[in-house]
Structure 1
Amino acid sequence: MPHAAAVARAEELRRLHLDPAILVLVNVWDAASARTVASVPGCRAIATASWAIAAAHGFADGEAIGRERMLEVVGCVADAVDLPVSADLEGGYGETPEEVGETVARAIAAGAVGCNLEDGVSDGELLRDPHDAVARIAAARAAADEAGVPIVINARTDVYLRGADDPEAALLRGQAYARAGADCIFVPGVTDADTIKALAAGIDAPISVLARPGAPSVSELHELGVARVSFGPGPMGVALAALARTASDLLAGGVPADELSYRPPAA
């Protein structure tokens, strides 16, 4: 992507996080899903989902897919659409902040203008030391500055994904990540409306949450002050559930459904 186009898409993605309307990101995992979502009226940006990408390639989540293959998919998604693309880079695919910075630089080169960076370690049971997590976010910001593309860093804290109900920890980490250069703070796993409202009010950056069954609706999240909502592997789950139902119907001798004629929009 030409540098000017990358800068323009990054600036647009940043603006969308500050727009009065909540930014709804229906996560994708390949070029076909990206084109499908991008073609829907009202879609303003695209976000990948690491779990879904890994599953599509036969890997478990948690960076098992490796940096090379993940960035290859990110590039395919970015090439498939004309919208800003935010890439789920998990923990940054690196042991050190410098390696995380290299990952972000390469994601920018692949066409991403936003990224997720999480503070959970690969086993999902522990959180990184906050100083280490801050250093990794700062390295990501430095890499973006070096590239001259104002990438939107969506810093994820896994406080609630561990099963803890600790809004103070989420708030403190969110504040620290914002000071280190994050543009948005992602708190997946939190579903309580009062807690979400308190985090949105208490963190000096837009906040993002993961919507799932049992969580507030997108409209309710907007009213609570959430700037960005995504769905992780959920959209892939919907697609595969539909595939399973269709396969079941056809294997049982059913009539081919109209949806069998659907094709993703062309490039």
Structure 2
Amino acid sequence: MSRSIAEKRAAFRALHEQGCFMLPNPWDTGSARYLEGLGFKALATTSSGFAWSLGQADNTVARDLILAHLRDMVASTDLPVNADFENGYASDANGVAESVRLAVATGVAGLSIEDSTGNADEPLFSIDVAVERMHAARKAIDATGGDTLLVGRAENFFAGRPDLEDTIARLKAYSDAGADCLYAPGITTREQIAAVVAAVAPKPVNLLVGSVSDFTIQEIAALGVRRVSVGGGLARAAWGGFMRAAESLAKGRFDGFEGAAPGKTLNAQFGG
């Protein structure tokens, strides 16, 4: 890799200053290198995509495996990598701070911290606790030099609590606690997106578009969004092709290989 970690982090911050950029989510080093070859400016990991590659459900992978994955992803590309760092793999602020310190050491250019608890009965941390956790993440980053971008995520819509008012209150609180970029996965309408962008301005907003959408990137940019990620969307697309082919084989047929990428193309992609 020719760019230093510091250069990657500086480039990543610059992307958030104006315009709107696509932030695709590879799930392994091969998919990361392919996306780099297509000309994307930055990448983000996907906790779900990586978990599925291990044969695990999302939100069940141990922190040590996540950290090893982040090191591999950073080493595989010259592009800045944003870590889907779930809820920081800790419930208390001190634990979040330690996890963030370890994540920064992998060389990621940014990382996100969610306010999800992992408890179905109480899926979200209270806003006070969530703010303490975000502040701890901010302090941990600052202690390393402060150049890693911190993304604050409000999980209301993913947690079955689609309350836009509370989502915005949380995002504003995370911004005040030091988050550089704000993210509310699950918002989908123009009205929701515009409201979030306006509430946290001038800080940048990430929008998740992980499935088929009528939006174009130009329309999203016009709403004031700075970056667009796809979460596990690419991993699910890959799994869809694999599952169709595998199910065809299970039925004694071979038609599931239609549309498969040629081996020569893949070898050329990864051999250069």
Q: Residue in 2 aligned with 1:221?
A: 220
Aligned pairs for 1:200-215 within 5 A:
200-204=197-201, 205-211=203-209, 212-214=211-213
Q: Does 1:243 align with 2:245?
A: no
Q: Distance in 2 between matches of 1:52 and 1:176?
A: 29
Question: Residues 113-148 of structure 1, C-alpha deviation per residue, up to 9 Å, x if partnerless?
Answer: 100110111145621111111111111111111111
CA contact (8 A) 1:113 1:149 kept: no
For 1:9-66, what per-residue CA distance to the aligned partner results, in whole angstroms no more than 9, with x for missing partners? 222111111222x12111011111111111112x00010000111111122112x211
- TM-score, normalised with respect to structure 2: 0.89
Distance 1:256 1:196, change over 3 A: closer
Look up the match of 1:66.
62
Q: CA deviation at 1:176?
A: 0.7
Instruction: Give RMSD over aligned pairs.
Output: 2.3
CA positional deviation for 1:80? 0.2
Identity %: 32
In 1, are the aligned partners of 2:32 and 2:77 still within 8 Å (CA)? yes
- Report the residue type matching 2:137 in the other structure: A
Question: Does 2:56 align with 1:54?
Answer: no
- 1:149 positional shift: 4.3
Structure 2 counterpart of 1:16: 15
TM, length-normalised to structure 1: 0.90
Instruction: Say whether residues 1:252 and 2:253 are aligned partners.
Output: yes
CA distance in 2, matches of 1:107, 1:46: 16
Does structure 1 retain, via aligned residues, the 8 Å contact 2:83–2:112?
Answer: yes
Unaligned runs of 5+ in 1: none
Partner of 2:114: 118
Equivalent residue of 2:270, what SS? coil
Q: How many residues align?
A: 263
CA separation of 1:258 and 1:58: change in aligned 2, threshold 3 A: closer
**How far off is 1:192 after superposition?**
1.1
Match of 1:78 among 70, 74, 78: 74
Letter aligned with residue 232 of structure 2: P
